[in-house]
Amino acid sequence: MNALVKILSHPGRLGRSSVLGLLVGTAQAAAPAYQPLADIAQTAVDHVETHGDRFPVPPQVAAGSLDSRLRLHHCDQPLESFESPGGLKAGRAVIGVRCTGTRPWKLFVPVEIKLPSEVVVLARPLRRGDVISAADLTTRMADLARLRGQYYLDSTDLVGQRIKRHVAGNAVLTPSMIDADRLVERGARVTILSDAGAIEVRVAGKAMGHGGRGDQIRVKNQASGRTISAVVVDRGVVKASP
């Protein structure tokens, strides 16, 4: 570095092109030999935030710790991100990060995707058969990624419904707790929804039982002949249980 300072102080000793070449060479020598782990983690976080519209609410994303002993050559191209075969799902997931430069590599980064949102809960305990009033309902913050099954973000349609079973106060309300009208009758034709990554598949089926919104029933896939468990989501529509 001292030699460079001296040369810059007396540019007459070298041509301008020589000085420029020396500066470029010095900059190249200063480039890190290995890719900073923070850059890799941030690339994974950026991928989730870029595709945040796939979730019902804006996600909060944090990358998991990477092994500090990891040594990946510094990429001479912008890092790329990609999803695992399972697609982008809330909760604990992994996002792929790769280098497609002259010394390529690939790594899966663990991430935690939280979905903070207000959900509808009971303000007080209710017993089976109780009719829900507006005073019985309130909201609290929850991580939607940790809630099993369905939930309510809006209490409008709940007022006037009956509780199917005893529910404790502050409990997150789910369709299975509500004595809703039957949306599927035994023996009726239904549409079975299932997820295949980012694609929703619809097939024809036959209900082996009856139920209202949120109820789990058995349905028969007309194409394969298999009988599976599914949750009633709408009139004549069920979603295959995971």
Domains and CATH numbers, the chain: 37-114 (no CATH), 116-177 (3.90.1210.10), 182-240 (2.30.30.760)
- Distance, CA of 4 to chain centre: 51
How many Cβ atoms sit within 10 Å of the Cβ of residue 175?
Answer: 20
Mean pLDDT over 48-56 rounds to: 93
Beta strands (DSSP E) in the chain are 60-63, 80-83, 91-99, 105-114, 116-122, 137-143, 182-184, 189-196, 199-207, 211-212, 216-221, 227-234, 237-240
The pLDDT confidence band at residue 150, using thresholds 50, 70 and 90, is confident
Cα–Cα distance between 155 and 37 in angstroms, integer?
45
Q: What is the pLDDT of residue 8?
A: 41
Is residue 141's pLDDT more than 90?
A: yes
Handedness of CA 96, 88, 140, 177 (dihedral sign): negative
Average pLDDT across the chain, whole number:
85
Residue with tokens 């500090």: 68
The pLDDT confidence band at residue 216, using thresholds 50, 70 and 90, is confident
Phi-psi sector, 138: left (phi>0), alpha (psi -120 to 50), beta: beta
Mean pLDDT over 135-154 rounds to: 90
The pLDDT confidence band at residue 6, using thresholds 50, 70 and 90, is very low
* pTM of this structure: 0.59
Q: Give per-residue pLDDT as tens, 84-119.
A: 888 898 999 999 999 999 999 999 999 999 999 999
Q: What is the pLDDT of residue 193?
A: 92
Q: Give per-residue pLDDT as tens, 178-211.
A: 886 678 888 999 999 987 667 788 999 999 988 8
- Give the dihedral of Cα atoms 120, 125, 127, 133; nearest 10 deg: -50
Q: What is the pLDDT of residue 223?
A: 86
For the chain, percent of residues with pLDDT exceeding 90: 55
Q: Strand 189-196 relative to strand 211-212: parallel, antiparallel, unpaired? A: unpaired
Is residue 237's pLDDT more than 60?
A: yes
Cα–Cα distance between 222 and 146 in angstroms, integer?
33
Q: What is the pLDDT of residue 4?
A: 40
Cα–Cα distance between 68 and 154 in angstroms, integer?
45
Cα–Cα distance between 48 and 43 in angstroms, integer?
9
Is residue 168's pLDDT more than 90?
A: yes
Q: What is the pLDDT of residue 61?
A: 96
Is residue 27's pLDDT more than 60?
A: no
The pLDDT confidence band at residue 22, using thresholds 50, 70 and 90, is very low
Residue 147 C-beta-side C-alpha neighbours within 13 Å: 22
